[in-house]
Amino acid sequence: MKLSFLGAAQEVTGSCVLVETRSARFLVDCGLFQGGEEAARRNRHALDFDVSSLDFVLLTHAHLDHSGLLPRLVLFGFEGAIFCTAATADLLVVMLADAADIQESQARLRDRAGKRHEPLYDHVQAGLVTEQLRKTQYNTEIAPHDSVRCVFRDAGHILGSSILEVWINEHGVSRKLVFSGDIGQPGHPIVEDPVYVESADVLVIESTYGDRVHKSVADSVAEFTWAITDTIRRKQGNVVVPAFAVGRTQDLLYLLVRLFREQQLPELIVYVDSPMATAATEITIKHLNLADRDTVEVMQWLISNRDQPRIRFVGGELESRTLSEVRHGALIISSSGMCEGGRIQRHLRASLPRPECSVIFTGFQAAGTLGRRLIEGSKSVHVCGEEVAVRAALYTIGGLSAHADRDALADWLAHFSRAPEKTFVVHGEASVAKGFAELIRQRFKWDVTVPATHESFEL
């Protein structure tokens, strides 16, 4: 058996592992690289192998850094099934359509600037992916191949996110592989806590926040509340929150409703300016059976107390442009979460130069992204083709992250009843992944490796 790490190796985006056995060949995830021109170049040269010989794909969840190259995979000749949870399949329909929108829009802008640019994929190619999706449920064994069995477990990261337990059976010998996907932080809103796994022969684990401990949820919520309250009560500026349309936006809406019920927020209007976030919120309500008890209770309260708080889902481009002209009293949640594209750039361009405004980051900002430049202290940035001064107050609140921190990851590992024969640490920037691998060596005495991009291992 051979594992090849095609992305998210000593970096956070581009998750993709190629698994090859004597009888089967499949991918776990097929994600987009994110973060500037270099990422754009890598996306064009990714999947440089015979994809038509793949038997199937296993998908951990819908975020584009795990799913965003699926249309390219289909374009290059993959005709097999893509297995994922039902919630992930529903989210992919809107996420890949939105990604195609962005690809086509960026291509048009570059063409106008005299730079010939083909989109990575278009709406037709994104739509073809959805025809190859095969829905499964948590804790239900499937057999995507004669020699492969798989069970999807709840990863507690976003709606439908999964930890994969995969058994390879050949010549009477069974080997178990576990892919963590993105593991959620216990106690995170909406989703249930991650499921523990007891054993694996080979483990592939993420390490996004493997070098730090999040603030407590209570402290993070207090900081979030103060940042909003301090800005809105002065009645001079707005609060802008870049947020992933899937997962983070719904988390924030849950939190804002809860804070309003507890009378911790001033009067304000919450605008969700992302068509994809609107669709993802509707899908979340559709799959409310996957939500935790607190979320169900909050949703029931919200239905019974309409307009408390005032939440507006912004529709077309004209309405979005009008919103960017609002001077105060608004809390604007918009995507993309790393500020690399989408409507958030319009609101950043309007708010960053104004010291009376605030920008709140609640999610990971990958190297090379606009969000990363902002949190690292850039005094001016390019937004929508313009140089924009950064004068707004910036807040980074890691405790609201949907990713497990170092201690939560270590606790998840501590539930293994025996050491895996081999552990691979992925989905973390190089220094973070290597540091977390060393923690595993020291604390658990496991055989652990941090693979490089395109590095392969015979097992």
Crossing angle of helices 86-112 and 275-286, in 10° steps, is 170
In this predicted structure, what is the pLDDT of residue 105? Answer: 78
What are the beta bridge partners of residue 365? none
In this predicted structure, what is the pLDDT of residue 456? Answer: 98
Bridge pairing between strands 173-179 and 162-170: antiparallel
Report the SS3 class of residue 154. Answer: strand
Report the SS3 class of residue 252. Answer: helix
Q: How many CA atoms lie within 13 A of 359 on its CB side?
A: 30
Q: Which residues contact 84 (CB under 8 A, 6 or more apart)?
A: 58, 59, 60, 61, 62, 92, 133, 134, 135, 136, 152, 160, 162
Q: Tell me which long-range contacts 310-317 makes (C-beta under 8 A, separation of at least 24).
A: 310/268, 310/269, 310/270, 311/253, 311/256, 311/269, 311/270, 311/272, 312/269, 312/270, 312/271, 312/272, 313/271, 313/272, 313/277, 313/278, 313/281, 314/271, 314/272, 314/273, 314/274, 314/343, 315/275
Task: Dump pLDDT digits (tens) for 77-89.
Answer: 999 999 999 999 9
Of 47, 56, 50, 66, nearest to 24 by C-alpha is 56
Q: How many Cβ atoms sit within 10 Å of the Cβ of residue 242?
A: 29
Determine which helix (DSSP H) or strand (DSSP E) holds 186, and give its type and residue range. none
pLDDT of the chain along its 459 residues, tens only?
A: 999 999 999 999 999 999 999 999 999 999 999 987 888 889 999 999 999 999 999 999 999 999 999 999 999 999 999 999 999 999 999 999 988 988 887 777 776 666 667 889 999 999 999 999 999 999 999 999 999 999 999 999 999 999 999 999 988 899 999 999 999 999 888 899 999 999 999 999 999 999 999 988 889 999 999 999 999 998 899 999 999 888 889 999 999 999 998 999 998 899 999 988 899 989 988 998 898 888 888 877 877 777 778 899 998 899 999 999 999 999 999 988 889 888 999 999 999 999 999 999 988 888 889 999 999 999 999 998 889 999 999 999 978 888 999 999 999 999 999 999 999 999 999 999 999 999 999 999 999 999 999 999 999
| One-letter identity of residue 324 | S
In this predicted structure, what is the pLDDT of residue 114? Answer: 66
Torsion from C-alpha of 55, 56, 58, 62, nearest 10 degrees: 150
For every residue of 70-100, DSSP letters joined together read HHHHHHTT--SEEEEEHHHHHHHHHHHHHHH
In this predicted structure, what is the pLDDT of residue 308? Answer: 72
Exposed/middle/buried for 127, CB within 10 Å: 0-12, 13-18, 19+? middle
Q: How far apart are CA 410 and CA 404, in angstroms?
A: 9
Q: How far apart are CA 383 and CA 256, in angstroms?
A: 28
Task: Pinpoint the alpha helices (H) of 113-262.
Answer: 123-131, 217-233, 248-261
List, in sequence order, every beta strand (DSSP E) within 318-363: 330-334, 358-361
In this predicted structure, what is the pLDDT of residue 14? Answer: 97
Q: How far apart are CA 151 and CA 167, in angstroms?
A: 9
Is the Cβ–Cβ distance between 338 and 371 less than 8 Å? yes
Crossing angle of helices 293-304 and 248-261, in 10° steps, is 60
Q: What is the DSSP letter of 328?
A: S
User: Whole-prediction pTM value?
Assistant: 0.90
Q: Which domains does the chain have, with CATH numbers?
A: 2-212+402-458 (3.60.15.10), 217-400 (3.40.50.10890)
In this predicted structure, what is the pLDDT of residue 228? Answer: 95
| Preceding peptide of 266 cis, ω within 30° | no
Q: How far apart are CA 169 and CA 171, in angstroms?
A: 7
Task: Pinpoint the alpha helices (H) of 368-424.
Answer: 370-375, 406-414
Q: How far apart are CA 306 and CA 311, in angstroms?
A: 9
Task: Dump pLDDT digits (tens) for 32-58.
Answer: 999 878 888 899 999 999 999 999 999
Rg (CA), the chain: 22
Residue 143 structure tokens = 């057999």
